[in-house]
Every structure is written in C-alpha cells, then in structure tokens.
Amino acid sequence: MAVSISRQIAFEVLRRVEAEGAYASDLLHGELGANVKTADAALATELTMGVLRWRRLLDFLLERHLKKPVERLDLPVTLALRMGAYQLRFLKKIPPRAAVHESVEIVKRARKASAAALVNAVLRRIADEASSPAERLLPLEIDPAERLGILHSHPAWMVERWLARLGEAQTIALLEANNQTPRLSCALNDADRRDEIVAELEKAGLKVESGVLLKTALFASGGSVARTQAFRGGRISIQDEASQAVPLLLGVCEGDRVLDLCAAPGGKTPTLVRAAGSTGVVIAADRHFHRVRAMQAQFKRLGLPSVHLVVLDAAQPLPFRNQFDRILVDAPCSGTGTLARHPEIRWRLRAEQLADFHQLQRGLLQTAIAQLAPGGRIVYSTCSFEPEENEEVVAEVLESAAGIRRAPASELAQALQPHLAPAVNVESLFANDGYFRTSPPIQHTDGFFAAILQGI
C-alpha cells in the first residue's frame, strides 16, 4: 500500500519546518497546487497543522511507550509517529489500521525501515488508548503550568507567563483558541464591488460569509481562495481581520506622505496607498531584498504601481530628507498572537528572545519618531501578547521622546468606527489602558497590539 499524496505532502512540509525553520503555511501554499485534489489538500493541511499544534501532547502520549524522548529519534521516525498519533487521537474518520500502516510506510519511504517495527508497535498502543482522556494519563502530582502545557500543547514557560498575567480562566481560553483552526479571512480591495466579488467566489465553489470586525472583510471556506480569479486579479487578499484593522488606525488622508517602515510581506501597505490617493506618497521598506521583491509582485497583482519600494535597515538612521505625516511600524516580534495560524512558533520561541525583540522594537520606534513630521502620527503594532514587546516598548521610548504623546483612545475609536461591521462595539477593541488589542478567544482573530503616537 503506497503512502497517500496528502500524507506525503504533510510529511515533507513537517520535515522542512523542522529541518529548515520554514513556516508551514508558506510551504503548504507552494505544495498544494492546482494538480492536488481538494480533499487531498484538506487532509494534508489538517495533518500538518494538527501535528504542529498538538506536538507536545502527542509527544507525551508517544513517550509513554518509548524508551527515549521522541525528539531524540531520527527525524523521519519522529514525524511518522506524530502523524500517526494525531490521526489516531483526533481524526476519528480515518480507520486506525490505515493510520498505523501509512505511518509505517512513511518511515520505509524515508529509508528508515529498521524503525518500522517500532512505529507499528507504538502506534498500536496509542490506538488502544485513543479513547482515554489525556488528563487521566497525566501524573497525579504535576505542576499547573506543566499540566496545562501538556493538555493544551504549549511550552510550560509560555503558560506560566500567561497564568501570572491573565489568570487561569483567560489562559485556558487563549490556549484553546490557539488550537482552533483559524477561519480564512479575506480583505476586499474594492469595497464597491463587494456583491460582484462574493458572487465570483461562490461561483468558484467557495462558501462566503461576512467578517466579524470589518465591513470590508470576508470569510471564505470550502476551497482554495488563491486559485480564484478574484484573488489572481487582485480584487481580494488573504489577511486576518485584526491585521486589516491596524493600518486604519493611522488615519491616512489624501495627499499624505506615508512610510510603512517594516512593510513585508506587504499586507498592510495597500490600505495606506488607497487612503493617500493619487496625490500622496507611500514608501514601503524592508531590510531584505528578497522580501521587497515579493512585495513588488504582490503590489503588481493588486494594481498598485505607485508604491515606492526601498531596501533599508530600519534600526539605523533613515536615508530620507523629508519627514512623513504618517508612519506605520509593524515591528518584527515573537508572534505569540498568531499561534493558531503559525503553531510552529510555540516550539521555536524561547523566553530569553523577548528581550532581544524588545531592544530591536525600541530602536525601530525611535527611528520612526525621528522621521515624523510635526503633528504627524505613528502606529506601532505587533502580533504579540507580551508586555516586553508592547506597552513596555512604548513607555520606554516616550520617556525620551520630546514632542510625542499617545493619542487618546477616543480619537482612534472615532477614526476606526466607520470601517467596523455594524454589530461591533469599537470600545471593545481598546483596553482600559487605551491600547488597541484583539484577542483570539474574544474577536476570533489573531492577537494584535497597537499604540498610536501623535506629534505635538
């Protein structure tokens, strides 16, 4: 029995995620071409993302029947065991025999035939206990963070941080949200043609629903958005709703000079371009040439030839003589607000890296402030929940930034209100401290933070 195409794709993507540090969503986009059937693409995606999300729980279950940690096995064996255990534990429509057999075939295809008997034996034991609640298999005496970390498949250090700051109920809600498959959100690039675009997507076999936050957002399911003519023609883009909302906070006006300082992959730039109009100037910058080239292709698809693309290191003084009316600093960050969409982050990130991100982000914001015109506005944003990357960065920078203040939440809410879906209370997007925040358990989006700074 040959290994199915869906399992072959999932195995190869998981291998590259581990061996190359790649992102699963990017790899799947490349692997799931038009020649892959919809059902095969769906299973490949489910297996890949499911194994990444539930890796810690899967390893705990597997190591009950192994003599050494899963990660100390050869990588193909590790991946075959995780894929088999995920199917046995979570995918009840797949016959256990098929899950076990194809996992054995995977290690054989990977030239690890000597491990075939091990994979077969361990997965048969996993199948026998698949109906037992995982909590019953935990040791009686276990640290609360370890317990939640295993049951909800997150690193213990991350759970400890969230328990200390959010409490148990909010932490569990966040952990559960991170293990849900996020809905595919699309941005309408021409709101006036909404009905036409929806009809076009439905004709392509997709189910389309309105977004929960923004008028110009849609949810699409039941097929590949990237294969549709609406996507190829630039009428829609794939983008989380919280990410769509962030550039709206800048309040760009016709004729503004706008700098998107850390622009790649370019999802927020089009909103700035449309708001600045034909008389405005928008510069999109990134430090990596290949990412700038990717943005160039993206903007061509969207019909935005007027964007000025620049390769630069934003941690250094900027090479512009003129100042900018609006600056977006969508800073590189830990990404802890995107763990549902990018589950591999939870296994790569280390607690000590937060200090490094903090230093980088502080430098980027200081650089941006130096380039801001009098009376201008900066939006500093991250897709992180961590204070070191968010309010602590803003507070430190403002201590030494003359002529800059935080814009009041009421002013920002007023700017955002016209773009929101009718049922959304704009105040729910601003915390008591006045910062813009979205939450996976509450808004069902990625977790974004944004601060808005105003030149005096």
Does an H or E element contain 28, and which?
helix 24-31
The pLDDT score that the predictor gives to residue 410 is 85
How many separate helices (H) and strands (E) can be counted in the chain? 20, 12
C-alpha R_g of the chain: 23
The pLDDT score that the predictor gives to residue 4 is 93
Which sign, positive or negative, has the C-alpha torsion 392, 397, 400, 404? negative
The pLDDT score that the predictor gives to residue 294 is 92
Domains and CATH numbers, the chain: 5-137 (1.10.940.10), 185-238 (3.30.70.1170), 244-455 (3.40.50.150)
- The pTM (predicted TM-score) of the whole model is 0.94
Active-site annotation holder among 186, 262, 333, 383: 383
Contact between residue 280 and residue 304 where contact means Cβ atoms under 8 Å apart: no
DSSP at 375: E
Contact between residue 27 and residue 17 where contact means Cβ atoms under 8 Å apart: yes
Cα distances from 44 to residues 2, 29, 51, 140, 196, in angstroms, run 16, 11, 11, 36, 31
Contact between residue 129 and residue 137 where contact means Cβ atoms under 8 Å apart: yes
Q: Is 333 among the residues known to form the active site?
A: no
The burial of 133, by beta-carbon neighbours within 10 Å (0-12 exposed, 13-18 middle, 19 or more buried), is given as exposed
- pLDDT per residue as tens, the chain (456 positions): 578 999 999 999 999 999 999 999 999 988 988 789 989 999 999 999 999 999 999 999 999 999 999 999 999 999 999 999 999 999 999 999 999 999 999 999 999 999 999 999 999 999 999 999 999 999 989 999 999 999 999 999 999 999 999 999 999 999 999 999 999 999 999 888 999 999 999 999 999 999 999 999 999 998 889 889 999 999 999 999 999 999 999 999 999 999 999 999 999 999 999 999 999 999 999 999 999 999 999 999 999 878 999 999 998 889 999 999 999 999 999 999 999 999 999 999 999 999 999 999 999 999 999 999 999 999 999 999 999 999 999 999 999 998 899 998 888 888 899 999 999 999 999 988 899 999 999 999 999 999 999 998
Q: What does the angle CA 166 – CA 398 – CA 324 come to, to the nearest 5 degrees? A: 115
Cα(265)–Cα(320) distance, integer angstroms: 22
